[in-house]
Amino acid sequence: MPGSHGSLTKAGKVRQITPRVARTGVNSHSKKIPRVRNRKLYIKRVVLNRYGGQANSIAAQKHARANRRS
């Protein structure tokens, strides 16, 4: 096969010999699929009229002040 880079007999060898490292910390749990996450955020923001992000953030405080006025 002219123009190929390396032989096909070497394909995948590096990944096979690379040691598996366990995920730790923030990455230790798998993330929810976007459909489930977006549904949860919709319920929180639109249905319950709460802030969708972190509860104690500056943006959440602004949201609370804006809702108090109206």
Average pLDDT (8-31) is 85
What mean pLDDT do residues 23-39 have? 89
Is residue 70 pLDDT above 70, yes or no? no
CA distances in angstroms from 15 to 10, 18, 33, 59, 68, listed in the order given: 11, 5, 27, 43, 56
> What value does the mean pLDDT take over residues 44-62?
89
Maximal C-alpha separation, the chain: 72
Q: Which residue type, as a one-letter code, is found at position 60?
A: A
On the question of pLDDT at 1 being above 60, the answer is no
Yes or no: say if 41 and 49 are a contact pair by the CB < 8 Å rule: no
Which tens digits make up the pLDDT trace of 4-18? 677 777 788 888 888
